[in-house]
Structure 1
């Protein structure tokens, strides 16, 4: 039996593992071709042992936390452990064999040391187009086979020999081969780096020492999460909400129900009572996405780096205390061949509902309702040359108010953490023009002692003809306020032609293959977060700041916050009338 690794060596190995994962992520996004990876960093990378445990992962998007072990377990059904050879490169994206969803393609390489399979180097990245029914994204399709290429544990390289047939198949079944093939090459380079760096670490410290260190690090992360769970009183905590529709059956809301069962130092998230699976792609792969949302929520709530002074490695240990239950046939655990590509708004809502359910017992760690959705737009068209162009854009939203501060405005909240795509990059490469990109100004933020964050407005104009597919939600079920805070606001989608702004069409959050003409504009207005705490407890100076910033107006300050403003000639226009404010608030309370 290997001896326990001493604390100093343990920290050095742990730091090295994390550094390798970070390097893998950096190589992938710096070498990639498509903006969704190159700019937004919609990717994940890490190292894994031969039992598919996460040893380290890149600090990229939380949506990829915990998903790659699902890919590895899915691949094992096609490639058992004894079938791996040095130099193998496997590609995988099947949503019913562990993938987060089909556009998130994983590249996996085995790590051998002294002829022994020790683990894996793997990454995943969102690809622009995999030949689905509509360019870039899909929603209203009948089954998983409509999602495009399903690559179930196939070898791109077999012992270092390139599988030209498979590379050609992929290249000829995407609308944008230059982007997809370039991104795949970047993924292979990232995985190769991970193999090389992991082997160097094994050579320096010895396989037995490194593997023992990984076990101790996983046990440590598990113990830290269990310690925090044990502080929560045992009980069943519930929250619910609903999704707008499935992208086809308009007006039919889809319930989301979350029950969090805390028992000792373990927790179960039970999604029983949520919507049955739907006939479109608005379902969620259980292994690769539903579980990941629950892992994320507890790591964010209980192991946040801001609230913990000790560093806690992101590894398999932080998944072990969390059990996830979703009945087969529900929206969070669909049965094949149901499509399951448009899955992100749903898992955002699961994370948000976990926060809501635990708010009564974690008031100092929760937020009010977040936007908890995803605006994912696929803009596409055909150039005069006959070649397709496809652009995937992730739009920001907002967080709810927090125990000691306002909800951040116009951010990638909860599980996203992708970066915005610079509009300069858009203008250089694509026949689109961004007409508007700013803080939403048609509504006021969810009022509270700490107000909700403001959403974003993004308006993209087509220069030529094209099409749009848009994946979003939360037009109807607005972000909730908490502890006396007021609700936020739902999202909105408008489509119009720039030549005639009088004819603005209101569109549902999800739609597929909308044909556009030159000058057509899609404007997305994201949800705004809910407020935390009683609005009349808000610092009057902060209320004044919100008025001066244009977030709220003086009547709203008076009616909702109990803050009386007086006009002044100081260059700002308003000041707080403290005596009148105290009198007004006394009457309101």
Structure 2
């Protein structure tokens, strides 16, 4: 293909991924998928190499790009099949993220795959929201190895019913699984149209050329990084089971447009659930370097080929089964971004921003029965992530109250929240001046305050409550986050039972500042003053 045809080819593949996402959102039952958009869609070639993706969630997409080749090799694919998987050690991220994969056959030839990954607020864990303070993978819910959910176009109803019996929100779960299958059917239909228009040979060659083009762009972008070795270390607050200050260390070895990312000095895996499989670590690493590439770089496997990942088996970012991983996907991935960016800041001091809020501020809650309320109370599950402050950079201050880096979800609108669950949102506001001071100020975090209208069980998995988001070039750190119940401080990771009338307040961290502040600590410039 010439340059114009290749660009059109890439855009049409991206459009297929976008349409899959639109179908999934509109068909889903749960606010988690329908309103928060906690899902991702992508296209892969016949070997499982990423070829296109929608602009969805980096931790989903990068991990699928890393692991899909291993998944597709395990299956004897037939036309009309769909495979479901959530096992973090077989290509998943954490158990709530359920992936559904479908092959594209044309004239009995396997040409490509479509896949989507969506977060299910209930995947069968004991605690509502299926994000427990866990010590092993089995405590986190139902583990699904790659298994055919649809065989030759026929749904395996007994298998699906077995899944739904093990979750509390069976009706919602059924609807969300149906939405995921529908998204794949839409993707297959549109992808088949592309093959029909081009012919199978030209289509397959186009996928190869797209990845080769992405590899060239990626290598050129990475040549901007001066050759050398760069190190950085940062820490997770804790693992929820009493182990604190867990180091994530990285060494970048840069040479002529290629990078080796080595986590050799990272802490060993821990009893708590902040461990992550290597696919999640890869997603965080890919994300950072993808941000250095030009906007026209195709989002495909070729763009990651110049990046090599090394992490000792059994460390925090390459855990061994059956280590718990629920928070590794959401919290540890965020810290991996911080350490890779911290190392790059030494090499590219004018291009790398200060640390953002560094936590997805996970809140899972609901009613599980028994210990958390009165008999006969209907069960419910709810999960959300909460934004914070973005780190400032050379060219501008950080944005306030948004998701950053490894997640790209929306908030749950208060109307949706209050109409679906026994909750009242008492306050939703920016956390004024929580961003770090500097020549460019860090963005402010959020305050989100919930009143419970019925008894519930709550789990918080949050970070940056002890180790503040760092500033750069003399900028100050952002303010750490704070969790409170009825005004009393809570740990960053905690499970608790609440009663009607209790109030949970979550104040998320601000982003780090960039450059030396224009005012001292005693006369710190406020954001309103900065505007003038």
Q: CA deviation at 1:507?
A: 0.8
Alpha carbons 2:52, 2:300 under 8 Å: kept: yes
Per the alignment, do residues 575 and 511 of structure 1 end up closer, same or farther by CA in structure 2, a change over 3 Å counting?
A: closer
Alignment match, 2:482: 492
The CA deviation string for residues 358-410 of structure 1, in whole angstroms up to 9 with x for no partner, is: 11322232111211111110120259754311111111111111111111011
Question: How far, CA to CA, are the matches of 2:531 and 2:325 in structure 1?
Answer: 53
Question: How far, CA to CA, are the matches of 2:529 and 2:337 in structure 1?
Answer: 42
Per the alignment, do residues 464 and 304 of structure 1 end up closer, same or farther by CA in structure 2, a change over 3 Å counting?
A: farther
Question: How far, CA to CA, are the matches of 1:444 and 1:338 in structure 2?
Answer: 34
Q: CA deviation at 1:24?
A: 0.6
1:520 aligns with 2:484: no
1:221-300 alignment, distance < 5 Å = 221-249=214-242, 252-287=244-279, 289-300=280-291
Alignment match, 1:474: 464
Alignment match, 1:547: none
Alpha carbons 2:66, 2:282 under 8 Å: kept: no
- Pick the aligned partner of 1:166 from 159, 167, 182: 159
Question: How far, CA to CA, are the matches of 1:210 and 1:76 in structure 2?
Answer: 20
Alignment match, 2:493: 510
Alignment match, 1:97: 90
1:7-26 alignment, distance < 5 Å = 7-26=3-22
Question: How far, CA to CA, are the matches of 2:258 and 2:529 in structure 1?
Answer: 55
Unmatched runs of 5 consecutive residues or more in structure 2: none
Alignment match, 1:499: none
Question: How far, CA to CA, are the matches of 2:324 and 2:259 in structure 1?
Answer: 29
Question: How far, CA to CA, are the matches of 1:336 and 1:247 in structure 2?
Answer: 19
Alpha carbons 1:258, 1:353 under 8 Å: kept: yes
1:32 aligns with 2:24: no
3-state SS, counterpart of residue 253 of structure 1: strand
The CA deviation string for residues 298-352 of structure 1, in whole angstroms up to 9 with x for no partner, is: 111x1253xxxxx221111111111111111111111111121211211111111
The CA deviation string for residues 28-75 of structure 1, in whole angstroms up to 9 with x for no partner, is: 112111111111111111111111111110111222222224453343
1:103-502 alignment, distance < 5 Å = 103-249=96-242, 252-287=244-279, 289-300=280-291, 302-303=292-293, 305=295, 311-343=296-328, 344-381=330-367, 386-441=377-432, 444-496=434-486
Question: How far, CA to CA, are the matches of 1:231 and 1:49 in structure 2?
Answer: 30
Q: CA deviation at 1:7?
A: 2.5
3-state SS, counterpart of residue 37 of structure 1: helix
3-state SS, counterpart of residue 215 of structure 1: helix
The CA deviation string for residues 200-219 of structure 1, in whole angstroms up to 9 with x for no partner, is: 11011011111111111111
Q: CA deviation at 1:193?
A: 0.9
Question: How far, CA to CA, are the matches of 1:526 and 1:211 in structure 2?
Answer: 46
Q: CA deviation at 1:11?
A: 2.1
Deviates more, 1:385-394 or 1:221-230: 385-394
Query: Size of the alignment, in residue pairs?
Result: 525
3-state SS, counterpart of residue 44 of structure 1: strand
Per the alignment, do residues 574 and 484 of structure 1 end up closer, same or farther by CA in structure 2, a change over 3 Å counting?
A: closer
Q: From the CA coordinates, give the structure whose radius of gyration is larger.
A: 1
Per the alignment, do residues 446 and 158 of structure 1 end up closer, same or farther by CA in structure 2, a change over 3 Å counting?
A: same
Query: TM-score scaled by structure 1?
Result: 0.86
Q: CA deviation at 1:142?
A: 2.9
Question: How far, CA to CA, are the matches of 1:384 and 1:139 in structure 2?
Answer: 22
Alpha carbons 2:124, 2:130 under 8 Å: kept: no
3-state SS, counterpart of residue 88 of structure 2: coil
3-state SS, counterpart of residue 152 of structure 1: coil
Unmatched runs of 5 consecutive residues or more in structure 1: 306-310, 497-503, 539-554, 564-571, 577-589
Question: How far, CA to CA, are the matches of 1:573 and 1:119 in structure 2?
Answer: 55
Query: TM-score scaled by structure 2?
Result: 0.95
Alpha carbons 1:144, 1:337 under 8 Å: kept: yes
Alpha carbons 2:85, 2:145 under 8 Å: kept: yes
Alpha carbons 1:68, 1:123 under 8 Å: kept: no
Per the alignment, do residues 560 and 193 of structure 1 end up closer, same or farther by CA in structure 2, a change over 3 Å counting?
A: same
Question: How far, CA to CA, are the matches of 1:294 and 1:437 in structure 2?
Answer: 32
